[in-house]
C-alpha cells in the first residue's frame, strides 16, 4: 500500500468538478486526507489527524493501536474493509487522550476486545464524565497493570507499562515478531511534549520510562511515535529515544536552576530557548516548562 488519496463525501457532481480550476483539483490530489505506510511484515501505520494509528494485518484478524478521532477512524476502517480478511480482532489504546481514543466509538460492534492500562481507562472515564461525552466513548473492556500478552496468528503482542510519563496510563505495545513498538505519546519526536499533570504525568519518571524502553528493546526495533515535527519521522529507533531522554533531562535541569535562582513561574514561562536544546523550536515550549516548574516546586 502506498499513498492513497481520498475525497470523502463530495457533494460535487462531475460537472461541477469540471468547473473547478485545475490548481485546486491538483492540490486535492497532492494532499491526501490520510497516509498508510507498511513498516515490516504485516505491521503498518495510518496517519491523518491525531496520534499515529498502528495496525497488524493478521490472517486471524486485524489488530489496531489507537484510533485518532471518529472521522479519521472511519477513514481507517473503510481502508481496512478492502483487505481480504477484514475482521477486527483487537483494539489497544496507548493512553486515553482524545486524539488516540475518541475514534474508538467507530469500532463499536466491529471489534470484540478493547485493551488499555487500568489508569488509561480510569482517565478516559473521568474526562468523559467531566466533558459529558460518555455516550461518545467505547471504553476498554480488558485492562492490566504491568504487562499483557496475546498471540494473534504468527505475531505475539506484548504490552509494557513502565510507570507515569506523559500521563500515568501510557503503555508501549510491542509486536515481538516484527519487532515494532508503538510508544504512543511517550515520545514526541522533535516537538515539545504535552505533559498531562491532571492525568498523573511525571517529567522525572518519564526519564525512567525512556530508560526502561531503551533497555527493553534493541537496535533492530522500529518505534512508532504518537507525534512528530516532521511527518517522515513518525517512526524511528533507539537513537531518537536517547535524544528525547536528553531533552527531558535538559528541561528539568534548566527549570531546577531557575527555581533555585528565585525565578517565578511566569518568568520561567517566558523562556524561548532552553540551554542545550537550541535546535527545538519555541512553539509549545511552555507546556514542558510549566509542568517542570510545578513538578519541581511542589514535589509532585
Ligand atoms: Zn497525542
Ligand atoms: Zn497524549
Instruction: Give the distance (Å) from ligand 1 centre to CA of residue 37.
Output: 19
Is residue 121 predicted with pLDDT exceeding 50?
A: yes
- For residues 172-195, average pLDDT: 97
- For residues 289-297, average pLDDT: 97
Cα 117 to Cα 39, 205, 265: the distances in Å are 25, 17, 33
For 83-100, letters b (16+ CB in 10 Å) and e give: eeeeebbbbbbbbbbbbb
Instruction: Give the distance (Å) from ligand 2 centre to CA of residue 29.
Output: 30
Mean pLDDT of the chain: 91
Which carries the bigger pLDDT value, residue 264 or residue 33?
A: 264
- How far is it, in rounded angstroms, from Cα 297 to Cα 300? 8
- For residues 243-272, average pLDDT: 97
Closest-lying ligand to the alpha carbon of 191? Answer: 1
Is residue 123 predicted with pLDDT exceeding 60?
A: yes
Closest-lying ligand to the alpha carbon of 186? Answer: 2
The percent of residues in the chain predicted with pLDDT above 70, rounded, is 89
**The pLDDT value given to residue 20:** 45
Residue 85's pLDDT band, with cuts at 50, 70 and 90, is confident
The percent of residues in the chain predicted with pLDDT above 90, rounded, is 85
pTM of the model: 0.89
Amino acid at each position: 500500500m502506498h499513498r492513497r488519496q481520498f475525497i470523502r463525501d463530495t457533494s460535487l457532481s462531475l460537472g461541477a468538478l469540471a468547473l473547478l480550476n485545475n490548481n485546486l483539483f491538483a492540490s486535492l490530489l497532492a494532499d491526501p486526507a490520510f497516509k498508510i505506510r507498511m513498516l515490516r511484515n504485516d505491521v503498518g501505520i495510518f496517519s491523518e489527524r491525531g496520534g499515529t494509528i498502528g495496525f497488524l494485518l493478521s490472517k486471524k484478524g486485524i489488530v489496531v493501536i489507537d484510533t485518532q478521532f471518529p472521522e479519521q477512524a472511519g477513514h481507517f476502517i473503510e481502508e481496512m474493509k478492502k483487505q481480504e480478511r477484514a475482521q477486527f480482532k483487537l483494539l489497544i489504546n496507548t493512553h486515553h487522550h482524545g486524539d488516540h481514543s475518541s475514534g474508538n466509538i467507530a469500532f463499536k460492534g466491529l471489534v470484540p476486545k478493547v485493551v488499555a492500562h487500568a489508569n488509561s481507562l480510569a482517565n478516559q472515564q473521568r474526562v468523559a464524565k467531566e466533558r459529558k461525552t460518555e455516550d461518545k466513548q467505547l471504553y476498554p473492556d480488558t485492562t492490566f497493570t504491568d504487562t499483557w500478552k496475546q498471540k494473534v496468528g504468527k505475531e505475539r503482542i506484548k504490552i509494557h507499562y513502565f510507570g507515569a510519563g506523559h500521563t500515568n496510563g501510557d503503555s508501549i505495545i510491542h509486536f515481538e515478531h516484527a519487532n515494532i513498538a508503538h510508544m504512543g505519546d511517550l515520545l514526541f519526536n522533535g516537538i515539545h511534549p504535552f505533559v498531562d499533570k491532571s492525568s498523573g504525568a511525571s517529567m522525572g519518571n518519564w526519564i525512567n520510562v525512556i530508560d526502561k524502553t531503551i533497555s527493553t528493546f534493541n537496535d533492530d526495533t522500529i518505534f512508532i511515535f504518537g507525534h512528530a515535527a516532521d511527518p517522515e519521522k513518525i517512526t524511528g529507533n533507539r537513537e531518537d529515544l536517547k535524544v528525547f531522554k536528553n531533552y527531558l533531562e535538559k528541561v528539568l535541569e534548566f527549570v531546577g536552576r531557575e527555581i533555585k535562582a528565585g525565578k517565578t513561574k511566569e518568568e520561567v514561562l517566558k523562556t524561548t530557548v532552553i540551554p542545550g536544546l537550541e535546535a527545538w523550536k519555541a512553539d509549545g515550549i511552555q507546556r514542558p516548562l510549566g509542568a517542570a516548574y510545578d513538578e519541581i516546586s511542589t514535589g509532585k
